[in-house]
C-alpha cells in the first residue's frame, strides 16, 4: 500500500468514525468530519498532508501524490 492509498483509507475511516460518533453520542462529532474534509481539500491544492508525513516516517511506500 502506498502513502496515497493509506491517506485515502485513513480519511475514509475517520469520516465514517465521526459519523458513527455523531449518530450515537453527540452531533458535535460532525466537526471532525468537516476537519477531515477540509484537510483533504487543502491537500489537493497544496500537496501538504500531516497524515502523509506520519505515514512516511512509519515507512509506508511513497506514492504519486505524496512523496
What range defines the domain where residue 51 resides?
3-57
Per-residue pLDDT, 67:
77
Q: Do 44 and 37 form a contact (C-beta atoms < 8 A)?
A: no
Residue 66 falls inside a structural domain = no
* 9 vs 26: CA distance, rounded Å: 24
Task: Point out which residues pair with 2 in neighbouring strands.
Answer: 61
Residue 63 falls inside a structural domain = no
What percent of the chain is predicted at pLDDT more than 90?
A: 91
Count of Cβ atoms closer than 10 Å to residue 55 Cβ:
22
pLDDT in tens, 40-59: 999 999 989 999 999 999 99
Residues 6+ apart with CB under 8 A from 39: 11, 49, 50, 51
Model confidence at 7: pLDDT above 90: yes
Tally the domains of the chain.
Answer: 1
Residue 19 falls inside a structural domain = yes
Per-residue pLDDT, 26:
97
Per-residue pLDDT, 66:
81
Residue 38 falls inside a structural domain = yes
Residue 31 falls inside a structural domain = yes
Amino acid at each position: 500500500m502506498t502513502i496515497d492509498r493509506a491517506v485515502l483509507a485513513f480519511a475514509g475511516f475517520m469520516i465514517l468514525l465521526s459519523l458513527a460518533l455523531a449518530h450515537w453520542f453527540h452531533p458535535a462529532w460532525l466537526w471532525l468530519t468537516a476537519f477531515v474534509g477540509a484537510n483533504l481539500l487543502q491537500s489537493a491544492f497544496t500537496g501538504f498532508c500531516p497524515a502523509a508525513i506520519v505515514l512516511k516516517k512509519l515507512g509506508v511506500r511513497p506514492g504519486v501524490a505524496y512523496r
